Structure 1
């Protein structure tokens, strides 16, 4: 056990007990609560000593512990090689008095023969994460049941279970997971959809005889899942209904978590959770850690899905489950609930409360297992858009289960494409020529904002662009201030739509501007960002996450373009709290409405993040679209200046200002998930998860729930 409570520490990526290699890397952080600086960190294995590489940035700890100067650089990394068989790794730190203090003891078992093809990255896999942070042991379950029993005023939750010829093994299992709930105030409403196997009926009747909370209806003829679920709904007497598929599993605390959320937020109309998959051997895999309610993501995929709990009277008021939506009936219901109540009454619990059973014929293995579900998803989104009078050219599948909405743009408005620059003709020329050659938009003007260029080559190029009528040049002298340059340019423009574009961008596809403008002119949309690549093809930007690295980071940065993690979010339109202004499109009136970019506090960095958050605060949704793609030679023209002492000092100051101004977003970005890492931008799992930040945000929301806020978002469009 650790010897000194005065040294605050954490191992960020827990070492697996059973290693697949004799080499591993330990990541973590530590600092002395007395304010003294530590002199070293090491790991020992027997007589072997491995010295840590220290002073790794941990900005988020600096913000959390501002009175401890070492907190912001308290990270360390230790490369360790362990002997064969079992051993113990001791992680120690050296305090200012020279004494080594034990922080952690990590028992490991290394292989006798380290087969290289069996190696995996320690601590990064879901199995390890589940082991450390999401395994419910027997004593945990006892405490959960005590908590559930104490909620005597909790709501009755009716679990709707449509059944059709379910293999008995899985039918028994799904019923047992309801019987095993820590929260006791439930009823299980089973609707058997005329299963031909007589053992199905016999099994259901047996369970119903053993628990009065189980209600059953046997339908005389098969009507498919919508009819069966509506039959189960007719049995329900609870104030809320939970949707459960006949071969899946509820976690033991699923209904308890839902009941707590309902009691804390009595206005809630829909509550959904995170989910993962379960194979036939009971191994968990492929988690989907979701964002809070995300309208444009819901148009792209059924991100609500499981576990979904709905207010029963609202479901009945909406007519129950809609015939003709089989395979996407819950997606359809979620959209209709949103239409009725808006986003503020839709809540998200960032915990895995539901396991999809992955067996042959289940959609857990892919929508291709039930091809009708994919076409049904497209239909329910089309119907929603029609009901809400949103003009679209069409809805198309980009992959099974994922959709793209093509928004109508019958009269493309004029667009001003604004490119600030200073020298670096070789970069600027690539950006300008790629815009001119690869933009099929019919009505745009290129405005280059020259900030004291003095290289003859650059000046000649700007003059030639003007002479040929390819671009207008707006000269704004003075120290570099990205916000001021763009604000002056927007003020000088008359076009109703503006595009902020860096001078180190290279366009890929000709329809990029049409896609972004068609998103930006929707009434409820603020800024629109796009998918950016590094020159080597890896992802550079697919949305901004607040709080990552202390201030802001890019979602899935550095990942391969085929990345399918987190529900394949890389490949679909969705809402983010912010997008980068390396390429950003927004209506000019909205830009001016929120005051444009901040010329005082955010002269160079985070001005785009601050701008997007001002739009979000004003009720607009910021959109990321992957259907406009380009390369970004990130900060190529500013890199040298950013590495100077003055540049580093400025960056630190702007980081602190962003954190102070937008702290709620930085603590728990609603477009992200507290179970994912805020240290790495690759979408990896958080070791540990930051569930406490979500709890804090939930408590704050509860304190405000007495005055129900109107739905935000500036309209559905």
Structure 2
């Protein structure tokens, strides 16, 4: 590696923090993930830090699209004047020895809110810096909406947060750390959600980070409520806002979960909240201060936080009666759902035409590598005429694990799969392309365990090109007009945008190149649409109908397979195939127009022009006022 390249990687790793920051981050990665983690980080940086929005781009984006001017302020104030409800929002702030100027800036950011119906509830946890108490007392004398309690004994953040919460009289509680910032329109957006959604109980927003020089960077543009992503990392904070009655129901913050006390709180509150009562605001309403001691700087800054988060998640699943063990994996959490003592039968359906070498590789990799024992393979021979393929089919016909079904109809993927399902004996079905090759021995165990969860529909896998770059990590609606693969062409080890290429999370759709679903759900939604979507988009349409039926479609990175993509389908640029594709494209646009424009598992602040989670220029969000 050349010296110039090393210098470039170091700058990228430091994020403006200098050599000391590089070494501190490298040591943190080593402690969490060992030398393999350090090597992954170097590969990621060398690839251009995929999944990270560049600082300069974001500064320009903020300048263009995230400014509040005088006209906007006036419009917001007029909008507030027309609200039927003006809920009091209690901003809860635990305090311990903050840098005075950052602490003052945090308080000023609350005082500067365009929505005036707030109170700031501060609990000082016996700060040793006398300037902290002086600042609090001065602000209390200047603004009656600010109140404080000075604890007599240091109890850490959970106890201090409860002391601040005890001061709250508002209907709603917003959480703010002592050195972070709220933009001036933050509480307005919260109040507007409450005005528009009377049944809402939990509200969260997008967030970004702000460095010691005041530059905003690293925005986290979130999706709508995504339980699987929430179990992988705390997507709720920040800004996290709760109905105070809900916080009282769960008993506030729990001592012993310091560092992940807000994660534990969100988990317990979610247990008592209907999904429809959890609302996401697609605006950056929280600026998380980055400094050497903050968890915003590095997840290793507070290693105890990861341990507390792991415990909070495991207890959450215990309370829900779900047999699942969660472990911290260095950059998030992995939920491992238990399989039943008696493994259900899975019917693996593999359509093919000729392609003896590919299908042999596919079937052999299943037989030789798959550790899940209870499965059957249904190989659909769609009119093969190649002697080598026919000999191969004949050679495996006597294997009790596989059945070869001949179906000579003109190629209609949806019809072939629907017909095969009628022959399937499995409690679950797994759709596999003939150009799939197993990598992870436990791929089927992982997918089946997820698919058996009552609220989960289709489960997708991490598919790789032969060069070990990502082919499929979930589908994002609207990209390329209908749907595109998330994080396509990223390195195999890349974690993607805020971990979404390396963590279990829900998407609107996953590809049928490798898809597991309960047979009952497949039949409930009517299978694949063989009338309108013979070849293209049938998996997207199927997953959207599964979602309409009330299930989540989940993608896991812990089931890895190679995909030698569409190696036997032929070209789509001949006139007949192109006409068919155009018809199916137009069908999807008509049938799912609104969903294609508003994917709840993606952000309107992110682009539909590419599949790299880059910024949208302009964003597809509306300002309520």
TM-score by length of 2: 0.89
2:284 aligns to what?
352
Question: What is the Cα deviation at residue 559 of structure 1?
Answer: 2.2
Does the 8 A contact of 1:288 with 1:567 survive in 2?
yes
Separation (CA, whole Å) in 1 of partners of 2:419 and 2:486 = 30
Question: What aligned pairs does 1:75-224 form with structure 2 within 5 A after superposition?
Answer: 125-137=57-69, 140-141=72-73, 143-145=75-77, 147-148=79-80, 151=83, 153-224=85-156
Give secondary structure in 2 for the equivalent of 1:267.
coil
Question: What is the Cα deviation at residue 566 of structure 1?
Answer: 2.8
1:34 aligns to what?
none
1:677 to 567, 592, 607: 607
Does the 8 A contact of 2:53 with 2:219 survive in 1?
no
Does the 8 A contact of 1:404 with 1:572 survive in 2?
no
Give secondary structure in 2 for the equivalent of 1:309.
strand
1:258 to 186, 190, 200: 190
Give secondary structure in 2 for the equivalent of 1:250.
coil
What do residues 47-97 of structure 1 show as CA deviations (whole Å, max 9, x unaligned)? xxxxxxxxxxxxxxxxxxxxxxxxxxxxxxxxxxxxxxxxxxxxxxxxxxx
Separation (CA, whole Å) in 2 of partners of 1:370 and 1:159 = 24
Question: What is the Cα deviation at residue 658 of structure 1?
Answer: 1.6
Q: 1:558 to 1:400 in 2, by over 3 A?
A: closer
Separation (CA, whole Å) in 1 of partners of 2:271 and 2:590 = 35
Question: What is the Cα deviation at residue 386 of structure 1?
Answer: 0.4
Range 227-236 or range 400-409, more displaced? 400-409
Question: What is the Cα deviation at residue 597 of structure 1?
Answer: 0.9
Give secondary structure in 1 for the equivalent of 2:562.
strand
1:289 aligns to what?
221
Question: What is the Cα deviation at residue 196 of structure 1?
Answer: 1.5
Q: Does residue 270 in structure 1 map to residue 205 in structure 2?
A: no
Question: What is the Cα deviation at residue 221 of structure 1?
Answer: 0.7
Question: Would you tell me which structure has more strand in proportion to its own residues?
Answer: 1
Separation (CA, whole Å) in 2 of partners of 1:223 and 1:138 = 43
Question: What is the Cα deviation at residue 493 of structure 1?
Answer: 1.2
Question: What is the Cα deviation at residue 518 of structure 1?
Answer: 0.7
2:550 to 619, 643, 661: 619
Question: What is the Cα deviation at residue 570 of structure 1?
Answer: 0.9
Range 436-445 or range 395-404, more displaced? 395-404
Q: Does residue 667 in structure 1 map to residue 623 in structure 2?
A: no
Pick 1 or 2: higher relative contact order, CA cutoff 8 A, min separation 6.
2
2:393 aligns to what?
462
Separation (CA, whole Å) in 1 of partners of 2:233 and 2:226 = 10
1:638 aligns to what?
569
Give secondary structure in 2 for the equivalent of 1:676.
coil
2:25 aligns to what?
none
What do residues 296-325 of structure 1 show as CA deviations (whole Å, max 9, x unaligned)? 111111011100111111111221112222
Question: What is the Cα deviation at residue 380 of structure 1?
Answer: 0.9
Range 656-665 or range 208-217, more displaced? 656-665
Question: What is the Cα deviation at residue 137 of structure 1?
Answer: 4.1
Separation (CA, whole Å) in 1 of partners of 2:340 and 2:220 = 34
1:451 aligns to what?
382
2:584 aligns to what?
654
Question: What is the Cα deviation at residue 237 of structure 1?
Answer: 1.1
Does the 8 A contact of 2:93 with 2:120 survive in 1?
yes
**Which of these two proteins has the greater Rg computed from alpha carbons?**
1
Does the 8 A contact of 1:528 with 1:623 survive in 2?
yes
1:381 aligns to what?
313
1:583 aligns to what?
514
Separation (CA, whole Å) in 1 of partners of 2:82 and 2:552 = 40
Range 395-404 or range 488-497, more displaced? 395-404
Does the 8 A contact of 2:323 with 2:337 survive in 1?
no
Q: 1:391 to 1:464 in 2, by over 3 A?
A: same
Question: What aligned pairs does 1:386-397 form with structure 2 within 5 A after superposition?
Answer: 386-392=318-324, 394-397=325-328
Say what the alpha-carbon RMSD is for the aligned residues: 2.0
Does the 8 A contact of 1:124 with 1:685 survive in 2?
no
Give secondary structure in 2 for the equivalent of 1:431.
helix
1:40 aligns to what?
none
Does the 8 A contact of 2:326 with 2:333 survive in 1?
no
Question: What is the Cα deviation at residue 489 of structure 1?
Answer: 1.0
Question: What is the Cα deviation at residue 125 of structure 1?
Answer: 2.5
Separation (CA, whole Å) in 2 of partners of 1:292 and 1:142 = 29
1:334 aligns to what?
266
Question: What is the Cα deviation at residue 556 of structure 1?
Answer: 1.3
Question: What is the Cα deviation at residue 663 of structure 1?
Answer: 2.4
Does the 8 A contact of 2:482 with 2:589 survive in 1?
yes
Separation (CA, whole Å) in 1 of partners of 2:398 and 2:423 = 20
TM-score by length of 1: 0.78
Q: How many residues align?
A: 575
Question: What aligned pairs does 1:63-82 form with structure 2 within 5 A after superposition?
Answer: none
Question: What is the Cα deviation at residue 138 of structure 1?
Answer: 5.3
2:347 aligns to what?
416
Q: Does residue 601 in structure 1 map to residue 532 in structure 2?
A: yes
Question: What is the Cα deviation at residue 608 of structure 1?
Answer: 1.0
Question: What is the Cα deviation at residue 124 of structure 1?
Answer: 8.4
Separation (CA, whole Å) in 2 of partners of 1:596 and 1:254 = 44
Range 354-363 or range 426-435, more displaced? 426-435
Separation (CA, whole Å) in 1 of partners of 2:198 and 2:156 = 33
Give secondary structure in 2 for the equivalent of 1:367.
coil
Give secondary structure in 2 for the equivalent of 1:208.
helix
1:503 to 434, 440, 463: 434
Give secondary structure in 1 for the equivalent of 2:301.
helix
Question: What is the Cα deviation at residue 470 of structure 1?
Answer: 5.2
Q: Does residue 544 in structure 1 map to residue 475 in structure 2?
A: yes
Separation (CA, whole Å) in 2 of partners of 1:150 and 1:521 = 48
Separation (CA, whole Å) in 2 of partners of 1:675 and 1:431 = 39
1:520 to 427, 448, 451: 451
2:361 aligns to what?
430
Q: 1:209 to 1:401 in 2, by over 3 A?
A: farther
Separation (CA, whole Å) in 2 of partners of 1:498 and 1:509 = 19
Separation (CA, whole Å) in 2 of partners of 1:282 and 1:140 = 23
Does the 8 A contact of 1:500 with 1:581 survive in 2?
yes
1:533 aligns to what?
464
Separation (CA, whole Å) in 2 of partners of 1:506 and 1:643 = 27
1:481 aligns to what?
412
Task: Name stretches of at least 5 consecutive residues in structure 2 with no aligned partner.
Answer: 1-47
Separation (CA, whole Å) in 2 of partners of 1:479 and 1:678 = 34
What do residues 15-61 of structure 1 show as CA deviations (whole Å, max 9, x unaligned)? xxxxxxxxxxxxxxxxxxxxxxxxxxxxxxxxxxxxxxxxxxxxxxx
Does the 8 A contact of 1:144 with 1:182 survive in 2?
yes
Question: What is the Cα deviation at residue 630 of structure 1?
Answer: 1.0
Separation (CA, whole Å) in 2 of partners of 1:123 and 1:373 = 27
What do residues 535-560 of structure 1 show as CA deviations (whole Å, max 9, x unaligned)? 22221111111222211111112223
What do residues 497-547 of structure 1 show as CA deviations (whole Å, max 9, x unaligned)? 111000111111111011011111111111100111122222111111122
Separation (CA, whole Å) in 2 of partners of 1:688 and 1:348 = 20
Give secondary structure in 2 for the equivalent of 1:571.
coil
2:254 aligns to what?
322
Q: 1:280 to 1:137 in 2, by over 3 A?
A: farther
Q: 1:636 to 1:128 in 2, by over 3 A?
A: farther
Separation (CA, whole Å) in 1 of partners of 2:409 and 2:219 = 51
Task: Name stretches of at least 5 consecutive residues in structure 1 with no aligned partner.
Answer: 1-116, 700-717
Question: Would you tell me which structure has more helix in proportion to its own residues?
Answer: 2
Range 396-405 or range 419-428, more displaced? 396-405
